Amino acid sequence: MIRGKENQNDKSRNIYSRPMFSVIIAAYNRARLIERAIKSLLMQTETDWEGIIVDDGSTDGTYSVIAPYLEGETGIRYFRIPHGGESRAKNYGIGVSEGRYITFLDSDDEYHPDHLSERRRYLAENPGVMFLYGGVRILGNQFVPDRNNPSAVINLKDCVIGGTFIIERDVLAALEGFRDILLGPDSDLFQRAVEKGIPMAEIDKPTYIYHHENPNSITNVLLKKKKGF
């Protein structure tokens, strides 16, 4: 394991207390986009969180974009690991996290400023919920490959978006994190939670902003091939 620069600041929290949320950002060659994600985390009205950036062996200068946000009391920690894929990077982040709840922010997406505060309020009002999901605003292409039939596409509105997951730490440990599969690791985790009878709930406030505008994304390339151009 290669460990990069790590910011140990705790945002003035008691060092013996766990943060409410651990926000895991897995990144691979996201120098052009990751700053938007980081800024949206720092703009949260909810302050009881830690940010964990796991750099999955980027080669495009991603760290140089991240570095300024590791100075001072930002609450963000950074780890660099050999390239192994998104699921492995997320699982690494889960392993070093300390929060009561684990959640995610894809490196090319962003949070509305009230994202974490709205989720905290919902969890306080519904204390039996152990796995919260939903509440997404989609920008760009609305379709992705169907994990059960990769030659077909489905609307993102009919999918679960992994960035919206907020999962109790013990529950995520019992589920053993993300499996290393090409299509649908988020859906796979979700389905395993359903099968285990984990108390789950969907929130409808669209405070997770899912960017799908990139014409060179894997999904959009697949769609172009399907359409014959």
- Report pLDDT digits (tens) over 154-176: 877 778 899 999 999 999 999 99
Q: What is the mean pLDDT of the chain?
A: 87
Distance CA(61)–CA(59), nearest Å, equals 6
Give the pLDDT of residue 23.
Answer: 99
Instruction: Answer whether residue 15 shows pLDDT above 90.
Output: no
Does residue 90 contact residue 178 with C-beta atoms inside 8 Å?
A: yes
Instruction: Answer whether residue 74 shows pLDDT above 80.
Output: yes
User: For residue 93, is it within any domain?
Assistant: yes
User: For residue 150, is it within any domain?
Assistant: no
User: For residue 74, is it within any domain?
Assistant: yes
Name the percent of the chain lying above pLDDT 70: 85
User: For residue 146, is it within any domain?
Assistant: no
Reported as type and span, the H/E element at residue 169 is helix 169-175
Query: Where do we find the tokens 């609450």?
Result: 75
Instruction: Answer whether residue 107 shows pLDDT above 70.
Output: yes
**Residue 131 C-beta-side C-alpha neighbours within 13 Å:** 22
Give the pLDDT of residue 212.
Answer: 84
User: For the chain, how many structural domains are there in total?
Assistant: 1
Least confident span in 124-128, 158-162, 213-217: 213-217
Regarding predicted confidence, which is higher, 226 or 115? 115
Distance CA(136)–CA(111), nearest Å, equals 10
Print the domain residue range for 50.
21-141+158-210
Give the pLDDT of residue 7.
Answer: 45
User: For residue 1, is it within any domain?
Assistant: no
Instruction: Answer whether residue 123 shows pLDDT above 70.
Output: yes
Q: In this structure, what token pair is assigned to residue 98?
A: 């300390």
Residue 93 phi, psi (nearest 5) = -60, -40
User: For residue 56, is it within any domain?
Assistant: yes
Banded pLDDT at 147 (limits 50, 70, 90)? low
Give the pLDDT of residue 208.
Answer: 97
Instruction: Answer whether residue 65 shows pLDDT above 50.
Output: yes
Instruction: Answer whether residue 3 shows pLDDT above 50.
Output: no
How far the first Cα of the chain sits from its last, in Å, is 41
Instruction: Answer whether residue 5 shows pLDDT above 80.
Output: no
Give the pLDDT of residue 158.
Answer: 79
Mean pLDDT of 49-65: 97
Give the pLDDT of residue 149.
Answer: 78
CA distances from 115 to 82, 134, 171, 186, 192 (A): 31, 11, 22, 19, 25
Residue 101 phi, psi (nearest 5) = -115, 140
The CATH number of the domain holding residue 67 is 3.90.550.10
User: For residue 12, is it within any domain?
Assistant: no
